[in-house]
């Protein structure tokens, strides 16, 4: 293929009379489809909001969360799910299917329990202040932890259950992190 001096590709040579006639014979009496006036667009990917740096919450606020893992979580199996009492089951179903776009995320990888709890409290406070509806908390699968257990997964779930602004959460879809993340639905103001 010929290259232009500017580095771009050369235009293809024009079709001969014979090639043009062959193309017209191949397409026969085909006509373009009428314009429906509709644009075939994909829904845009949600914009991720970078949360501003805020001061650390007071230790009393972070320590208000218990590290106790409820037996329902400990024995609940692999998939994480919670629905605040009084909420419709449809809410959890919609959350699992990705009905609400993820507006922000928090990654707890590599943190100690104390650091993770403090970061989660700060993150939820910021999300509440910004009026965010749906967020992702990445807790990891525990593959690097002692005994290869997902310690932060269960603790994060327990902490989320203790917060009043949490309406529901569930394990993320595979495209959003799968078993290593939770999608969280927050109350709006």
- Return the pLDDT at 128: 92
| Residues 28-48 pLDDT 10s | 888 888 888 877 666 665 565
- Return the pLDDT at 141: 79
- Return the pLDDT at 48: 59
Q: Is the pLDDT score of 132 beyond 90? A: yes
- Which residues is 107 bridged to in the sheet? 138
- Tell me the percentage of the chain whose pLDDT exceeds 70: 70
Q: Which two tokens stand for residue 168?
A: 């529901």
- Return the pLDDT at 61: 46
Calculate mean pLDDT across residues 138-155.
Answer: 76
d(CA 97, CA 174): 11
* 65 touches 117 (CB < 8 A): yes
Among left, alpha and beta (phi > 0; psi -120 to 50; other), residue 77 is left
Q: Is the pLDDT score of 74 beyond 60? A: no
Q: Is the pLDDT score of 63 beyond 70? A: no
Query: What confidence tier does 1 reach under pLDDT thresholds 50, 70, 90?
Result: very low
**Top-confidence range, 52-66, 69-83, 155-169:** 155-169
- Return the pLDDT at 177: 86
Q: Is the pLDDT score of 142 beyond 80? A: no
* 138 touches 111 (CB < 8 A): no
Calculate mean pLDDT across residues 54-82.
Answer: 58
Considering the segment(s) 80-186 as one domain, its CATH architecture is: 2-Layer Sandwich (3.30)
DSSP code per residue over the chain: --B-TTSPBPPPPPPPHHHHHHHHHHHTT--PPPP-S----PPPPPPPPPPPP-PPPPHHHHHTS-----HHHHTS-S--EEE-TTS-HHHHHHHHTT-SPP-EEEE-TT--HHHHHHHHHHHHHHHHHHT--EEEEE---STTSGGG--HHHHHHHHHHHH-TTEEEEEEPPGGGTGGGEEEEEE---
Model confidence, pTM: 0.62
Half-sphere exposure of residue 13, counting CA atoms within 13 Å on the CB side? Answer: 6
Calculate mean pLDDT across residues 59-77.
Answer: 55
Calculate mean pLDDT across residues 48-77.
Answer: 55
């Amino acid at each position: 293929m010929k290259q232009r001096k500017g580095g771009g590709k050369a235009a293809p040579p024009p079709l001969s009379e014979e090639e043009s006639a062959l193309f017209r014979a191949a397409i026969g009496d085909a006509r373009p489809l009428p314009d429906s006036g509709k644009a075939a667009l994909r829904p845009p990917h949600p914009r991720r909001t970078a949360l501003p740096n805020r001061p650390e919450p007071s230790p009393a606020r972070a320590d208000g969360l218990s590290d106790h893992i409820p037996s329902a979580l400990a024995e609940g199996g692999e998939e994480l799910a919670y629905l605040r009492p009084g909420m419709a089951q449809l809410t959890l179903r919609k959350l699992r299917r990705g009905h609400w776009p993820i507006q922000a995320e928090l990654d707890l990888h590599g943190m100690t329990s104390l650091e993770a709890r403090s970061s989660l409290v700060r993150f939820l406070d910021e999300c509440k202040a910004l009026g965010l509806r749906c967020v992702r908390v990445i807790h990891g699968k525990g593959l690097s932890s002692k005994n290869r257990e997902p310690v932060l997964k269960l603790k994060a779930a327990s902490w989320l259950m203790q917060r009043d602004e949490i309406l529901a959460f569930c394990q993320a879809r595979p495209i959003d992190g799968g078993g290593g993340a939770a999608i969280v639905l927050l109350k709006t103001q």
